[in-house]
Amino acid sequence: MMEREEHLFEVLDHLVRIRNECSCSIFSECGLSDMTVKQVAYLKVIDEEGEVTFSRLAEITKNSKPTITEMVNKCVRMECAYREQSPDDGRIIYIRLTDKGKMIATAEEAALRRMIERLMDSLDEHEQELLVEILKKVR
């Protein structure tokens, strides 16, 4: 039993490494190998919210407005985000993502898709179906 669990650990560890490689390659494609997990999390929130203000981002992330301003400034310097004034109310500023920011915000999903592609390329059709059935059982 212990041997089987150790083998499973090694296999899953290998899958995690493949996923990390895929994530790193996506960040490298964006020219941002030094992006922090927190910055990626902010970009994901901005992407999910679509139209988000500094106040709303502070509320969602449970941070102060100065903290949000600092983080957004960093993202703007890295060309991942920009500010856009509301056409209806000039006092409202929205935080928007650049194409680069959108790519980073969706990097985890893209990395997972790349990993799945690598997995599927290494399995025949029967093995693919078997893998899907086995993974459906995991809770």
User: Following CA atoms 106, 112, 116, 119 in sequence, which dihedral angle do they give, to the nearest 10 degrees?
Assistant: 140
Q: What is the pTM of this model?
A: 0.65
Give the pLDDT mean for 24-32: 71
Give the count of alpha carbons within 13 A of 120, CB side only: 9
- Per-residue pLDDT of 56-96, as tens digits, reads 999 999 999 999 999 999 999 989 999 999 898 889 999 99
Give the pLDDT mean for 30-43: 76
CATH T-level fold of 35-105: Arc Repressor Mutant, subunit A (1.10.10)
Q: Are 53 and 92 in contact (CB under 8 A)?
A: yes
- Per-residue pLDDT of 107-120, as tens digits, reads 878 888 888 888 88
Res 70: pLDDT = 93
Domain segments of the chain: what residues? Answer: 1-30+108-139, 35-105
